[in-house]
Amino acid sequence: MDRGFERLVARVYDAALEEDGWPRVVTDLIGRTESAAGGLLRHAMGGPLCRPHFHHGIAPRFVDDYVTHFRYRIPWVGNPSFYRPGQVRTDRTVDQFFNDSNAFHSTEYYNDWMRPQGLGHIMRTVLRRDEEGCVSLFLFRRTDRGAYGSQDTGLFKRLVPHLMRAGEIRRRFERADLRSARDSHAADCLSMGVVHLDHKGRLQTANGFAERLLQRADALSCRGGRLMPVAPADRSRFDDALRAALTTDDGTGLHKLSLARAQGGSPLAVTLVPVTRDSVVFDETQASLVLLIADPEARAAMSTEMLVAAYGLTRSEARLAALLTEGGSLREAAAAAGITYETARSYLKTIFQKTGTGRQADLVRLLLATGA
């Protein structure tokens, strides 16, 4: 069991809740991959906007030079295949794409921007792409450390679905009021548990993911409207964290802990988030509480929104594509989507065209590889 990877996954989900959590994720990745620099970058597709959210190991003047000039000199600029969410790219894959062993290291971007900083190799992925632009996570390694190998890209590929999921959660929390989201189906679309407790710690609502965890009593159960860890050793820690979160007077501060599973395996990562009520009724100032429960062993759910953004599919096409990744036949996927088999065949032809695939097996392999 890779404890380091579990801690990294837990930190990723912390970043879904804390704006300053992403820098810690990037610095952890830099250390784990023996990199020298890295960061998060948001830039408009075909527009002038380019904004680094966070960067580590890159001098301010080089950041400015990148924003004003060198972002137009990256070897993949304007190539849609390099902006598909979830794909991991390195300088080696750039060489392979252009069928030239020196394609990357002959560019102005490398020779005039990376090389003066002592940086020789790059590994990047796109975490989100929409009509406004995309968010990329990138890492740089010094020349003397050698190129990123299969172990590095393997780690990155394992982590990317969690990074994308955490980014989507962060976006939803930034855009939607939490109380209205609680009453909508949005929380059920998240591939993690979302539980709401009242100011006395009693269960109010839980999304589908959390309900299934509670029904299995895998690491957490519900008795008499109150949550209880299955492992006795976890109960006092959980109660202490719950009490601390509920007695906060300003809705700030996160409380994190891991809960052992009844059948073994990777523990669940639980984050308790105090939320002060935005409208005070009868001077009730005690904070309510949201629990976010992440399962490192859960496969990232196929997101139709990400398929729409990544490949330009319609929502109906994206739903069919997502159903196909679950392993069933086209006829079974059509039935699950509530459409006829002939309609599904028509959708599939269009999906093949938009994704650059020609067979159902190739399509499923592409979608699972990108972690959409």
pLDDT tens sequence for the chain (372 residues) = 567 788 888 888 888 777 668 888 899 999 999 999 999 888 765 555 566 777 899 988 998 898 888 888 888 877 888 888 888 999 999 999 999 999 999 999 999 999 999 999 999 999 888 776 788 899 999 999 999 999 999 999 989 988 888 887 777 665 544 444 444 444 444 556 788 888 788 888 888 778 888 988 889 999 888 999 999 999 999 999 988 888 765 445 568 889 998 877 788 888 887 765 433 322 343 446 788 888 776 655 556 777 887 788 898 998 899 888 766 789 988 988 889 999 999 999 999 998 888 888 778 777 765 544
pTM over 0.75: no
pLDDT single digits (tens) 18-62: 766 888 889 999 999 999 999 988 876 555 556 677 789 998 899
- Tell me what pLDDT residue 229 has: 94
Domains, the chain = 3-174 (3.30.450.40), 177-294 (3.30.450.20), 304-370 (1.10.10.10)
Ramachandran region of residue 166, left (φ > 0), alpha (ψ -120 to 50) or beta?
A: alpha
The backbone region for 46, taken as left when phi is positive above 0, alpha when psi lies in -120 to 50, beta otherwise, is: left
Residues 192 and 205: their CA atoms lie apart, in Å, by 14
- Partners of 284 in beta bridges: none
For residue 300, give the nearest of 150, 190, 172 by alpha carbon.
Answer: 190
> Which whole-number Å values give the CA distances from 188 to 80, 103, 173, 303, 320, in the listed order?
31, 44, 14, 12, 19
Tell me the C-alpha distance between 95 and 103, whole Å.
5
Radius of gyration of the CA atoms of the chain, in A: 22
The whole-number pLDDT of residue 197 equals: 85
Report the SS3 class of residue 17: coil
User: What is the C-alpha to C-alpha distance for residues 40 and 135, in angstroms, rounded to an integer?
Assistant: 7
For residue 176, give the nearest of 163, 161, 190, 164 by alpha carbon: 190
Measure the CA angle with vertex 56, ends 174 and 125; round to 5°: 65
Q: Can you name the residues that pair with 121 across neighbouring β-strands?
A: 141
What is 343-367 written as a DSSP string?
HHHHHHHHHHHHHT--SHHHHHHHH
Residue 318 to residues 86, 303, 310, 372: CA-CA distances in angstroms? Answer: 16, 8, 10, 10
Residue where the block lists tokens 């059948």 = 263
How many CB atoms within 10 Å of residue 134? 19
Residue 109 DSSP symbol:
I
Hey, how many other C-beta atoms are within 10 angstroms of the C-beta on 80? Answer: 13
Q: Could you tell me if 370 and 85 are in contact, meaning their C-beta atoms sit under 8 angstroms apart?
A: yes
- Cα torsion angle, 190, 191, 192, 197, sign: positive
